[in-house]
Amino acid sequence: MHTVVLVLVEILIVIGLSRLVGAGCRWIKQPLVIGEIVAGIMLGPSLLGLIAPDLAGALFPAETVPFLNVLSQVGLIFFMFLIGLELDPRYLSGQLEIAILTSHVSILVPFSLGSLLSLLLYPLVSNGSVSFTAFALFLGAAMSITAFPVLARIITENNLQGTRLGTLALTCAAVDDVTAWCLLALAIAVTRTNSMVGAIPTIVYSLLYIGFMVTAGRWLLQRLSSHYDRAGRLNQFVLAGIYMAVVVSALITEIIGIHLIFGAFLLGAAMPKNPGLVREIAQKTEDFVLIFLLPIFFAYSGLRTEIGLLNSPDLWLLCAAVVAVAIIGKYCGTYVAARVSGVENREASALGWLMNTRGLTELIVLNIGLSLGVISPLLFTMLVIMALVTTFMTSPLLEWTYPKKLIQLDMVDAEPTVAAGGAADTPAYKVLVPVANPTTQKGLLQLAAEIAGTRLQTAVVHPLSLIQLEEDYLFESTPIEADRVIQIQRQRLEEVIQSLEPPELRSLVHPIVRISNDVARTTAQIAEIDRANLVLVGWHRPAFSKNRLGGRVGQILSTAPVDVAVLVDHNQLRLEKLLVPYATNIHDDLGLELALRLLLNREHRQLTILQIAVPGQGSSETSYEFRSLMAQLPVSVRDRIDIQTVEAANPVQAVVTASESVDLTIAGTSRAWGIERQTLGRYTDELAIQCRSSLLITRKYSQITSHITSAFADTDTLLKPQEDNSGVEA
Amino acid sequence: MSSHFSLKSLAFYAVAIGSVVTLFSIVSAYGEKNLKAPPAISGLYPIAATALPDCLGSQSLILHIQQSGSYVSATLKPNSGSESESATAEEKHPLSGRFTNQQVTLRGPVPNLPNCQSQNSAASASIRGQFANKTLTGEIQLSSVPQAIAFTAKQEAPKPVSADH
């Protein structure tokens, strides 16, 4: 087969497998990078070469390897440019003193331990052509790495970007990243000249080039930024210039004697952080680099990783020592420095695990080391295992030390939950409203605010907007970019909140905006943490679907550990006439409770309670609780309630008929109304289809008998001051 | 930010970085003086056809050694003449062993020599050798051939298939 054809076939396999394994890793809540590294290893001698050596030889013959190498180097150069581009000085804004101290100690400790470990490893896994100094320097650098890009994604995914821990970890990682690259450049210079003294000219040239980039280079790039501001977009001519500059900068650092990647990184880092310019360069560059070229780098790296080289227990022991030194060095360095700086125990521990993320950056360093011959294939394999273990363990250990529940609790607590009337105490009634599109869900927010109201207990409405990010390394999932998206969404919510009527309802509404990969689960978690009394979900009638309450709404209905109400909105903002079909079950009780809340919160609202008597089965008796509740209500409220009992063979049709003259029908998820609770509307949500008004479907969480009277037990006392003010007699 | 450059902080960094530099200098000086890694033995070792067993016909052999310090792995295969150009670091080497005190010992299967396999089992080999002056001198014991094959082979650096990076 022609070499080019073979290389293209290889690329197909590489991209396909890395996406597949990457998706598997996302499924088990691991970063995509783990899947891509594993996919690369699977294609190499560790798996494919082991189980099907002939196939491996035919698919990845020696003559195609240089092509993969060139493609992976091009990918790496542009990836490093993107990393540099992402390195925003704004990351250095939070707790700089603690961050600098912690990140320096988190480099110094593993570096020192790595140097000491090299005393053991050098005679065993290196050879005479490599000087001990270069070996020790390289091993120390490899131990000190923290992968800023992977860490940044883990932080965004866990919604940590706004927290103290998140900003601290990001600042530490950014400082670590720059320091580790400098250390690596030094290690390369020493390796290439095989002595510290010989490396001095390279170090001097490197410093001169860095100086050039931060002065003249930055001046030029600033002009580019000004041009972008004027033009408002990047045309292909300018982009070609930027890409050429990336390659030129890479070549200069290669000629200086460090490595191609440093030039690309330096140019990205020196680029002015004009948000529009950075976003457009990143968006135009990242898809091809991340989808096409980077997996080739992983595959190339995987072809060089041979786990079979670890063929004896003593070698596995050495490997364990390498992994242990890397983890202990990074964790202890970070933890102790953070504790000394006054960071509390749990956060310091979480920071220690976060800083252990080595991922892709480590792999870049190791491949350079192997190519230079400073690390042997055996040590390369051990260090790849170390990179995999340290990246893999980050998410579960972070969850262990700093569970998502606690993170969300911290964030929910941080939200401004000023109760109605300006009181700062915890609101007694909380409504959580998942909102996907604020502009089309104003009715939902209005209803939530009306249910919460200002007349009963202190209440708060939390519109919850969860933003799902698609890919691991995409620019949009960087913490700063994620923050920008959150701010935009918050702004949109705020606009809708400010349009709510009457104006006093607006002060009840406090949005929560988060990043989440599982909207239903996160909603349920936040509902539990926030101790919400009600989750109010919106549901648009789909044109063609049999399962009206399926999908995300169905998931929320079945997983949220609180009462849930689903609004099937008819775009009616009026909420004057309410209808509650009532059949004495806990879900109808919730419906009645919400209807009464609406009634109590607005003076002219009317409520019709519809009881259905099936012909031949006698009239349905109201419960004692129902009667005592009615008796307990103030006269001004009771006067607005019309209790009707109708005889109907088909209760659903009776409700549909009654719904023609009301604004909102509130029905429990009971079989009586054609809304099957267990199946969540798979086949019996007849009412949801036929109802003539907007429909609010209620589902009580607690399966025990509802004590509806208790919900309004202190209605009198709650209402009195309000009614006195409004002049309504109780 | 200003507090970051306080005297206390600067003193801490000076002590911390100074200690690590001192530690590294001591470790480095000790390592350079006292620790000796095995010489570089990686490479290709062409074994001339003379005295090779009948199962190989007139083919000569080539031994490709990959070294990770004192741990070595290798492939023994017929020398097609183009091997030196296609040898790759990515190749899986079935023979494995140790390299200590200039002595190489390798053991494992030789799947590239199918004609030399015995009736009941796949071909395997054990190789012992002494490495000096870039020359490997020793003997190969094939499982299917009773007599050991003595050899002397000069080290050739494999042309790297991949570029420098």
Report pLDDT digits (tens) over A642-669.
888 887 777 778 888 888 888 888 888 7
- The residue among A501 and A235 whose pLDDT is bigger is A235
Q: With cut-offs at 50, 70 and 90, classify the pLDDT of residue B23.
A: very high
The pLDDT-based confidence of A409 (bands split at 50, 70, 90) is low
Kindly state the tokens that stand for A221: 């790039």
Whether the ipTM is more than 0.90: the answer is no
Q: Residue A615 — very low, low, confident or very high, per pLDDT cuts 50/70/90?
A: low
Write out pLDDT tens, residues A320-357. 999 999 999 999 999 998 898 888 898 899 989 989 98
Exposed (0-12), middle (13-18) or buried (19+): which is A359, by Cβ within 10 Å? buried
The Cα A510–Cα A506 span in angstroms is 9
CA atoms of A180 and A142, how far apart (whole Å): 9
Q: Which two tokens stand for residue B150?
A: 């003595």
pLDDT digits (tens, 9 = 90+) for A111-145: 999 999 999 999 999 988 888 999 999 999 999 98
E strands in A13-76: none
Tell me which residue of B40, B52, B7, B55 sits closest to B158, measured CA to CA.
B40
Q: Which of B32, B68, B90 sits opposite A378 (nearest CB)?
A: B68
**CB-hemisphere CA count at 13 Å for A722?**
19
Q: A306 versus A722: which is more confidently predicted?
A: A306
Query: Residue written as tokens 């200003």?
Result: B2
User: Which residue, A563, A569, A532, is CA-closest to A548?
Assistant: A569
- Which stretch of A21-35, A291-305, A374-388, A554-568 has the lowest confidence by average pLDDT? A554-568
All residues of chain A having their beta carbon less than 8 Å from the beta carbon of residue B39 are 127-129
Q: Say yes or no to pLDDT of A517 above 80.
A: no
Q: Are strands A563-568 and A534-539 parallel, antiparallel or unpaired?
A: parallel
Q: What element of type H or E holds B9?
A: helix B7-34
Nearest to A65 among B9, B68, B162 (CB): B162
Nearest to A45 among B13, B17, B90 (CB): B90
Least Cα separation, residue B59 to chain A (angstroms):
22
User: What is the pLDDT at residue A571?
Assistant: 66
Out of B20, B89, B90, name the one closest to residue A111 (CB).
B20
A348, A412 in Cβ contact below 8 A? no
Find the helix or strand (DSSP H, E) in which A354 lies: helix A345-354
Flag whether pLDDT at B85 surpasses 70: no
With contact defined as beta carbons under 8 Å apart, do A36 and A295 qualify? yes
Nearest CA-CA partner of A138 in A199, A180, A175, A106:
A180
* Burial call A316-325: b when 16+ CB within 10 Å, e when fewer: eebbeebbeb
Average pLDDT over residues A44-52: 86
| Chain B residue with Cα closest to A76 | B165
| Mean pLDDT along residues B66-93 | 72
Look up residue A470 and give its two tokens. Answer: 């698609």
b/e sequence A87-112, b meaning 16+ C-beta within 10 Å: bbeebbebbeebbbbbbbbbbbbbbb
Q: Where do we find the tokens 């939950």?
A: A417
Residue A157, pLDDT score: 74
Q: How far apart are CA A683 and CA A675, in angstroms?
A: 9
Residues B127, B142 contacting (CB under 8 angstroms): no
Reduced to 3 states, what is the DSSP secondary structure of residue A293? helix
Residue A36, min C-alpha distance to chain B (Å): 18
Least confident of A23-32, A221-230, A720-729, B111-120: A720-729
Q: How far apart are CA A489 and CA A135, in angstroms?
A: 51
Residues on chain A touching B36 (C-beta within 8 angstroms): 123, 128
Distance CA B161, CA A63 (A): 7
**Residue A80 CB partners (closer than 8 Å, separation 6+):** A261, A262, A264, A265, A268, A364
Q: Express as a percent the part of chain A with pLDDT over 90.
A: 23
What CA–CA distance (Å, rounded) separates A285 from A287? 6
Determine the pLDDT at residue A713.
55
Q: Rounded to a whole number, what is the distance in Å from the CA of A372 to chain B's nearest CA?
A: 7
H helix runs in B43-101, sequence order: 83-86
pLDDT at A324: 96
Starting at the earlier edge strand, list the strands of the sheet with B61-68.
Answer: B43-47, B61-68, B71-78, B95-100, B103-109, B124-132, B135-142, B149-154
Q: Given B13, B20, B161, which is nearest A112 (Cβ)? A: B20
Between CA A61 and CA A40 the distance in angstroms is 15
- A311: closest chain B residue by CA: B96
Cross-chain Cβ contact B161/A62 below 8 Å: yes
Q: Given an 8 Å threshold on Cβ–Cβ distance, is B165 in contact with A133? A: no
Across chain A, how many H-helices and E-strands are there?
31, 10
Residue A506's pLDDT band (cuts 50, 70, 90): confident
Q: How far off is chain B from A226, nearest CA to CA, in Å?
A: 29
pLDDT for position A145 = 87
| pLDDT, position A414 | 53
Q: Which two tokens stand for residue A344?
A: 């509390």
- Cβ separation B90–A378 shorter than 8 A: no
pTM: 0.73
- Comparing CA positions, the residue from A118, A127, A126, A309 lying closest to residue B97 is A309
Contacts of B87 in chain A (CB under 8 A): 62
Outline where DSSP puts E strands in A540-635: 563-568, 577-581, 606-613
pLDDT of residue B1 exceeding 50, the answer is no
Q: What is the pLDDT of residues A654-712, one digit of tens each?
A: 888 888 888 888 888 766 555 554 434 433 366 777 778 888 888 888 765 444 455 55
Q: Which residues contact A229 (CB under 8 A, 6 or more apart)?
A: A274, A276
Q: In this predicted model, which residue has the larger pLDDT, B164 or A401? A: A401
pLDDT band at A8 (very low <50, low <70, confident <90, very high): very high
Higher pLDDT: A385 or B144? It is A385
Query: Which range has the worst mean pLDDT, A245-259, A459-473, A703-717?
Result: A703-717
When pLDDT is averaged across residues B120-143 and rounded to a whole number, the result is 86
Residue A568, helix vs strand vs coil: strand
| Pairing mode of beta strands B71-78, B61-68 | antiparallel
pLDDT score recorded for residue A630: 80
Yes or no: say if A564 and A677 are a contact pair by the CB < 8 Å rule: no
**pLDDT tens across B47-69, in order?**
876 667 777 777 788 898 988 99
Whole-Å CA distances, A38 to A14, A25, A320, A474, A550 = 11, 10, 19, 20, 36
- C-alpha to C-alpha distance for A598 and B132, rounded to whole angstroms: 94
**What does the pLDDT average to over A49-55?**
84
Sheet holding A664-668, edge to edge: A512-515, A459-467, A429-434, A534-539, A563-568, A694-699, A664-668, A577-581, A606-613, A641-647
Q: Of the ranges A73-87, A435-449, B110-124, which is most confident?
A: A73-87
Which amino acid appears at position B58 of this protein? S
B157 pLDDT tier (thresholds 50, 70, 90): confident
pLDDT at residue B86 tops 50: no
Which range (A721-730, B33-42, B109-118) has the least confidence?
Answer: A721-730
Across chain A, mean pLDDT equals 81
Among A475, A438, A575, A632, which Cα is nearest to A78's? A475
pLDDT at B161: 46
Q: Which residue has the higher pLDDT, A69 or B118?
A: A69
Q: A388, A141 in Cβ contact below 8 A?
A: no
